[in-house]
């Protein structure tokens, strides 16, 4: 029975190898955990013949499964980082192409036929809309490339729920038994 006069109970603090947890009890990754995982990944890379249990014992994991999961996490982080760099590089190339197309769009182009500039009735050169329209098409295609690069055009999943009722017409249900 709680009378309200008891001293407050202190939250247990994690031990040296006990994982830190948030208020809901979820695991919190610390810098020490990341350093230990990185050390395990380096050991695995430098010593491929070393077993996961040997690495776990060296680095301080409780078992080889925890060691393996930590190394997999490191591998995934490297892949994710390399993927982000690749996406940034592709985006920069698309940016450069977009700027070049925009420059074409902003310029005036004159109609040329057989190497000569064609003038209108007023004596001024006729403007050619072809290069501007081509620049607009290119810019539209570049925008599509951006959407694909960033996954904005991902497939949409549609859920269809319902039921089907079959009715046989012209058959007496008594004849079915």
- Measured from the Cβ of residue 34, the count of other Cβ atoms closer than 10 Å reads 14
Name the pLDDT band for 6 (thresholds 50, 70, 90). Answer: low
**In the 8-state DSSP scheme, what is residue 156?**
P
Token pair recorded at residue 85: 């760099």
Q: What's the whole-model pTM score?
A: 0.56
List, for residues 32-77, the tens digit of each pLDDT value. Answer: 888 999 999 999 999 989 999 999 999 999 999 999 999 999 999 8
Q: Give the C-alpha separation, 168 to 166, whole Å.
A: 7
Q: Which residues contact 43 (CB under 8 A, 6 or more apart)?
A: 50, 55, 58, 59
List, for residues 127-160, the tens digit of each pLDDT value. Answer: 999 999 999 999 999 999 999 988 887 677 777 8
| Residue labelled with tokens 């020490």 | 32
25, 110, 140, 143, 158 from 129: Cα distances, Å = 65, 8, 17, 21, 42
């Amino acid at each position: 029975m709680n009378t309200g006069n008891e001293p407050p109970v202190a939250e247990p603090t994690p031990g040296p190898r006990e994982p830190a947890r948030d208020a809901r009890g979820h695991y919190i990754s610390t810098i020490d955990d990341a350093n230990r995982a990185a050390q395990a990944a380096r050991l695995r890379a430098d010593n491929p013949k070393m077993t996961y249990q040997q690495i776990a014992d060296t680095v301080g994991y409780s078992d080889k499964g925890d060691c393996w999961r930590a190394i997999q996490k490191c591998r995934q982080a490297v892949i994710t980082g390399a993927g982000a760099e690749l996406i940034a590089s592709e985006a920069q190339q698309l940016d450069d192409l977009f700027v070049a197309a925009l420059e074409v769009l902003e310029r005036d182009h004159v109609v040329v036929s057989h190497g000569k500039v064609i003038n209108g009735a007023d004596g001024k050169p006729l403007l050619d809309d072809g290069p501007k329209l081509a620049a607009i098409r290119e810019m539209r295609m570049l925008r599509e490339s951006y959407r694909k690069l960033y996954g904005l055009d991902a497939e949409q999943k549609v859920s269809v729920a319902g039921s089907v009722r079959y009715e046989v017409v012209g058959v007496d249900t008594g004849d079915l038994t």
